[in-house]
Structure 1
């Protein structure tokens, strides 16, 4: 959500192969860059294995499928101890995330376990690291884009940089900033595309004040977590930035102001129009 991978003319010598599947209710695309112009059998198998793992994650964690482990636990049909082992792993990670964010994130705010806000980044990062990162032995770069949240890899001997466009929440189709990422992750959260769907777990009310928050980190799990935390914190509260340990990011208020940070330090606050100028 809110980001797109951008090509540049200077890099036109590299061919990009893209595979797309609809999983977890969103388009997930895998991008492989090389000079051959086609995918090897090894790459084809890795791409399919990555998609297969994500489909399996959906089977376990979907809140829309009545037969998922999460839904069956919520309905009292399945004991947590008998669920897929990854449920306990995610539950422990969500408890740690709630503490780390100071309550800006919670998978238990409704009284039952709902890890929706955590599983996306966690699952995409894990599947990408397991199946796609090893392709760098033969490919120039490989990345995955899950509804706008990305985990990106570049081979050590390549000077390739991924250009990630951050969407302007006030101007559909426009880009407000472009970030260069060699290896790492970018996640965006906010109300620009899906309305006020992010709930402040401290109040049970929709989070207000931030229309878009984009975070860059080594890990998509953490980038996604802190992008959500940024929306819940609101525009005026940037105390979380230093403790997040994230690389950089951009937060845009619903009144048009923008703030960004680098290595835990808030850089400035400007109007979006000024930033674009």
Structure 2
């Protein structure tokens, strides 16, 4: 049975759309809600006693952090290397802030939880980071999820549609939260792109790549020639032109 659910968390709304003949929605959403709360306790930069806040002010060292935080830190290091430092959660005001990775990472984890409880088709939307599994059931026909990318100057206008059965898409931009992504090279606000969407198998890495493209703009296109990113693609709106570009599309 198809079930839709919303959780208010992290200062936003988290949306779930799950379907499966044997899907136990009550158990799934209870476990997901507990996990989402845990993620806030671990990674919030607004909670003074979160693990990340303790790392940022030196009360804790990464080796003493819980396993989830160590996992995310290691994955952030990989993303930093792949993007030549354009994604660098250690080079932000206040210290280590993995927010540009953890939303996507958590979306994938929640999709796993839903599947463990019988969901065959899953869409999870964490404020622009989507984890997608199995397509959706349209009157008995399984079709890919159709995800629209908005015009950053008019968010009601869809300028591109991406179809995904299994995978993820993450979009970064300055049109909802304002200019909030910093350039780790300069410490200033990122000016490489107006918005960036990345499609691939891993939502956390999609999240990090989209953030990095906001910094690097067109210069980030070369990253997608790396073997590690062969299954990823990007669609980017340029900063000062009414144009867009894509790679591996």
Common fold by TM > 0.5:
yes
2:80 corresponds to 1:95:
no
Q: How far apart are the structure 1 equivalents of 2:65 and 2:31?
A: 23
RMSD over aligned CA atoms reads 2.4
| C-alpha deviation, 1:48, in angstroms | 1.9
Cα pair distance change 1:17/1:156, threshold 3 Å: closer
Q: Secondary structure at the match of 2:153?
A: coil
Of stretches 100-109 and 82-91 in structure 1, the one that deviates more from structure 2 is 82-91
| C-alpha deviation, 1:106, in angstroms | 0.6
Cα deviation digits, residues 52-80 of structure 1 (max 9, x gap):
11210110110000121111232333344
Cα pair distance change 1:114/1:236, threshold 3 Å: closer
Q: How far apart are the structure 2 equivalents of 1:23 and 1:213?
A: 24
Equivalent residue number for residue 271 of structure 1: none
Q: Pick the structure with greater CA Rg.
A: 1
Equivalent residue number for residue 47 of structure 1: 29
Q: Secondary structure at the match of 1:102?
A: coil
Cα pair distance change 1:74/1:143, threshold 3 Å: same
- Indicate if the aligned counterparts of 1:105 and 1:225 stay in contact, CA closer than 8 A: yes
| C-alpha deviation, 1:241, in angstroms | 2.5
| C-alpha deviation, 1:47, in angstroms | 2.1
Cα pair distance change 1:237/1:90, threshold 3 Å: closer
1:247 is matched with which residue: 232, 237, 245?
Answer: 232
- Indicate if the aligned counterparts of 2:136 and 2:143 stay in contact, CA closer than 8 A: no
Q: Secondary structure at the match of 2:156?
A: coil
1:71 is matched with which residue: 41, 53, 68?
Answer: 53
Equivalent residue number for residue 130 of structure 2: 150
Equivalent residue number for residue 13 of structure 2: 27
2:221 corresponds to 1:238:
yes
- Indicate if the aligned counterparts of 2:173 and 2:196 stay in contact, CA closer than 8 A: yes
Of stretches 74-83 and 25-34 in structure 1, the one that deviates more from structure 2 is 74-83
- Indicate if the aligned counterparts of 2:80 and 2:87 stay in contact, CA closer than 8 A: yes
Unpaired segments of 5 or more residues in structure 2? none
- Scaled by the length of structure 2, the TM-score of the pair is 0.87
2:200 corresponds to 1:190:
no
1:259 is matched with which residue: 227, 242, 245?
Answer: 245
Q: Secondary structure at the match of 2:32?
A: helix
Cα deviation digits, residues 158-193 of structure 1 (max 9, x gap):
622111111111223111111111111010012122
Q: Secondary structure at the match of 2:25?
A: helix
Runs of 4+ deviating beyond 4 Å: 155-158
Q: How far apart are the structure 2 equivalents of 1:236 and 1:98?
A: 15
Of stretches 76-85 and 66-75 in structure 1, the one that deviates more from structure 2 is 76-85
- Equivalent runs, 1:84-233 vs 2, <5 Å: 84-110=66-92, 112-129=95-112, 131-135=113-117, 137=118, 139-154=119-134, 159-233=142-216
- Indicate if the aligned counterparts of 1:149 and 1:186 stay in contact, CA closer than 8 A: yes
- Indicate if the aligned counterparts of 2:82 and 2:223 stay in contact, CA closer than 8 A: no
| C-alpha deviation, 1:155, in angstroms | 6.8
Unpaired segments of 5 or more residues in structure 1? 1-14, 264-277
- Indicate if the aligned counterparts of 1:215 and 1:246 stay in contact, CA closer than 8 A: no
Cα deviation digits, residues 210-254 of structure 1 (max 9, x gap):
111111101101111111111111235522222233433210113
Q: How many residues align?
A: 242
